[in-house]
Amino acid sequence: MYRSLSILFLLLICFCSYAQTDTVQVKTEMTKSSEPSKMKEVQSKQVIEGSADELLKKAAVLYSQSHYAEAATIYEHILANFGTSDKIYYNLGNAYYKSKNMAPAILNYERAIRLNPGDRDARFNLEMCQARITDKIEPVGMFFINRWFKSLGNSYNSNAWAGISIFFFILFIACLFIYFFTKFSWLKKSGFFVGILFICLSVLSLVYSGEQHHSLVKPDTAILFAPTVTVKSSPDESGTDLFIIHEGCKVKVLSVLGTWSEIELEDGNIGWLESNNIQVI
């Protein structure tokens, strides 16, 4: 009995350790790829001087005055010098959207959603941007259970799912105590079956947490920034032309070979394009 309780205690410690080590803020990798495109830079250096809070206020004032390019430059500066934030990515996406730069707007909305999957405003604005780009790619049909499973996983970020997993695991341990120490048979049975339910929910939450963590630290999707790109059958200019995609199109990066990237569209089409045409989310 004591050996079983000791094992359960060690499992609980492992779950807690997982949640703590999963608190990741991808600052260096994401901010390095956050490059302004097509937007004017602020000429006066005084505009981008100050603390993060001061710069956020300046950017908000510029945005309210319809100076979207200047506001976007400040938001880019904040991301490059003070770390990442889903709210700043969202505001930056708004500034690009107002300036009618759909590709960088989509990129930053996607980055906001990657940090905060439950951000409905960012998802709504992202849909607005996608409706204004040239390519309207229909995703490959997905079984409704898989679609529901994926939608549920995108409800929370990695840390939230890890916390939910720990919560269900604690409930599972409580059910085990009921099963081992109660004298009533009906309570033992209830504790046993409910405990199975809780451990399944805990494992499911842990799977969601792992998926969100992986998408955060190893992004494999990108946004096309070139106006028009002809996707090739091989990583070479002499490759056969397969299809054409336009600015703002979202692609999945399957592999990278030299200066070329193998990409896949949501409709299943696969091909190669030069890596400098895309920005990784």
Helix axes 120-130, 86-98, angle to 10 degrees: 30
Say what the pLDDT of residue 142 is. 62
Give dist(CA 126, CA 85) in Å, integer: 17
Contact status, residue 90 vs residue 109, Cβ threshold 8 Å: yes
Percentage of the chain with pLDDT > 90? 55
The DSSP code for 133 is: S
Confidence grade of residue 144 (pLDDT, cut at 50, 70, 90): low
3-state secondary structure of 96: helix
> So what's the architecture of 34-130 in CATH?
Alpha Horseshoe (1.25)
Single-letter amino acid, residue 124: F
Domain ranges of the chain: 2-22+142-217, 34-130, 221-280
Q: How far is the C-alpha of 70 from the C-alpha of 141, rounded, in Å?
A: 42
Segment among 73-77, 156-160, 172-176, 193-197 with least mean pLDDT: 156-160
Largest CA distance in the chain: 77
> Superfamily assignment of 221-280 in CATH?
SH3 Domains (2.30.30.40)
Kindly report, residue by residue over 60-113, the tens digit of the pLDDT.
999 999 999 999 999 999 999 998 899 999 999 999 999 999 999 999 999 999
- Where does the pLDDT of residue 143 fall: very low under 50, low under 70, confident under 90, or very high at 90 and above? low
Task: Report whether 98 contacts 126 (CB < 8 A).
Answer: no
Please tell me the distance from the alpha carbon of residue 263 to that of residue 261, in angstroms, as a whole number.
6
- Per-residue pLDDT, averaged over 261-266, amounts to 93
The span from the CA of 183 to the CA of 175, in Å, is: 14
Q: What is the DSSP string of 258-279?
A: TTEEEEE-TTS-EEEEEGGGEE
- Predicted TM-score (pTM) of the model is 0.74
Identity of the amino acid at 27: K
51-55, 155-159, 209-213, 245-249 — most confident range: 245-249
